[in-house]
Amino acid sequence: MDLSQLELHDAQLLAVHLDPAARVAEVHLAYYPDEEVRERVRAVLRFTGVSHFNQLADFGQLEDHAGAGNVSYWVSGETPGVSYIYLVRGLIAVTAASVELVAGA
């Protein structure tokens, strides 16, 4: 899948896992794969060759908006580059050599 076409509006942030030694960051999500689909599917954005990871999050707001979706949108970084995941009152920014979407994870 061309990640520049991935729409994360109204997705749910489920978890974030970091492995600094391996330089890997994983962002676990449930998202709508298509505008017509009304059920979210689980997937992981897996960043490798990570040099920088930044996250600002208001846990109360993430919880309050989880049902409707606590992800506003995302901007995929060019490979390599910086990807931005905009949250309700927060942001995840990852500078990585590559990013892939692992479906069903």
- Consecutive 10-residue averages of pLDDT for the chain (105 residues): 87 98 98 90 97 97 94 86 95 96 86
pLDDT at position 4: 83
> Phi and psi at residue 94, in whole multiples of 5°?
-130, 125
As given in the structure block, the two tokens for residue 22 are 């391996």
User: Where are the chain's structural domains?
Assistant: 3-103
Q: What is the reported pLDDT for 86? A: 97
CB-neighbour burial class of residue 47 (10 A; exposed 0-12, middle 13-18, buried 19+): buried
Q: Is the peptide bond before 33 cis (omega within 30 degrees of 0)?
A: no
pTM over 0.85: yes
- C-alpha torsion sign, points 89, 54, 74, 22: negative
Identify the helix (H) or strand (E) that includes residue 60. Answer: helix 59-64
> How big is the CA angle at 74 (ends 73 and 78), to the nearest 5 degrees?
160
- Lookup: tokens for 99: 């990013």
